[in-house]
Structure 1
Amino acid sequence: MITPQDITGLILAGGRAQRMGGIDKGLISFHGKPLIESAIDRLQPQVGTILINANRSITKYSHYGYPVLMDETPDFSGPLAGFSVGLKHCKTPYLLTSPCDSPLLPNDLAEKMGTELEKNNLELVFASSKENDGKIWSQPVFCLMKSSLKDSLDVFLCKGDLKIDRWFKELRSGTVVFENPQVFANVNTPEELAALEKVSS
């Protein structure tokens, strides 16, 4: 069984947030505190230790007391760049990733994905959400992976490919469907932030 001590949590705060006017999303206020604090609060009980991937506001993020890692690939090359630096610094058998702007992420994310990974002998499990209309949407930035995937990801990135689902296809990967789509709600615009504060108050 995979325990929290086996898992390093990686919070992805490295994006450009263009739809938010370019401000640093992890530091936007949600219910009176920066978004990243909600992500930390949700992840903390599920993992043994936390890493933060950020490319700016390094000093502010380091105030939380966790290592802050910058992408090693240039030009904001998306979540896989964050995964890559997270895997490089991961000292546990597993890495659990989550974006900084989904403050309602599931409290049982690690547990459910860990069970799926072990049951089916997978290398990586990502989350999916079941929307109100019954459609299943993949949520690929929420995933639990073996830390031994570092070399596989480095080879993939060296080819110049940044598509997250294409990397997943090269692995023994699977998904866990979460019934409540709200838990993956993320904040891309000021309007979405206001709406999410309403439903989660």
Structure 2
Amino acid sequence: MRTTGVILAGGASRRMGGQDKGLILFRGRPMVAWVVEALAPQVDELLIVANRNLESYRAFGHLVVSDLRPDFPGPLAGIEAALTALSGDEILCCPTDAPLLPPEYAARMSGSSPAVASWGAYWQPVFCRLPRTLLTGLRHSLDAGERSATRWLASLSPRVVPLDDLAARMQDADDPEALKALDRATD
């Protein structure tokens, strides 16, 4: 089974004032640099889904693809782009704003897919493992107007992987306060 790590960096970043989250500095380096460094050794290949600043993302040395749909329709569109570009059997996704992704993420998510990470009582839909075979169904869902990654994943009855013990390192920094809190919490 060949696994492609996918960094979802294509969002509009409204909560970050429209800044490209992957390129925002965390401890002196772009957040995406941290995620690339953590995820690349855990997978067979790495792919970044980005919709702007493509050359900046390509500088990290991995394939960069963009959503196939306009207007930042959300993480499902990023997953669609990744599954379309996939050369392997499955993808292991994470967001670009999780700079402290733990080295055991892929191992913990291994096993049957589809799978979705959870902590607390909540699924974390951008932390998921999905087989290539879901591409056609995902396209149909997106064409029908589905935009909720949680709802779409629920329709698949995924294996839920509790990662409560890793949650502090996997929290995404999706707004300025969350980024500061992540930096403080993991000193």
**Does structure 1 residue 87 correspond to structure 2 residue 83?**
yes
CA drift of 1:155 comes to 1.1
> What TM-score comes out, normalization by structure 1 length?
0.88
Q: 2:172 aligns with which of 186, 194, 200?
A: 186
CA drift of 1:44 comes to 1.0
Size of the alignment, in residue pairs?
A: 186
Structure 1 vs Structure 2 CA RMSD: 1.3
CA contact (8 A) 2:22 2:97 kept: yes
CA contact (8 A) 1:93 1:146 kept: yes
CA drift of 1:191 comes to 2.2
CA drift of 1:129 comes to 1.1
Instruction: Name structure 1 gaps, 5 residues minimum.
Output: 118-122, 131-135
Instruction: Name structure 2 gaps, 5 residues minimum.
Output: none
Partner of 2:103: 107
* 1:173 partner amino acid: P
CA drift of 1:112 comes to 1.8
**Does structure 1 residue 200 correspond to structure 2 residue 186?**
yes
CA drift of 1:8 comes to 0.2
Partner of 1:133: none
- Name segments (4+ residues, structure 1) moved above 3 Å: none
Aligned in 2, Cα 1:189/1:165: closer, same or farther, shift over 3 Å?
closer
Q: Deviations over 1:80-134 (max 9, x none)?
A: 000001000111111011100011223222212213x2xxxxx41010013xxxx
Q: Deviations over 1:41-83 (max 9, x none)?
A: 1101110111111110111111011111111111100000000
In structure 1, what is the Cα distance between the partners aligned to 2:62 and 2:134? 23
Q: Rg: which structure is higher?
A: 1
* 2:109 partner amino acid: M
SS of the counterpart of 2:110? helix
Identity of aligned residues (%): 38
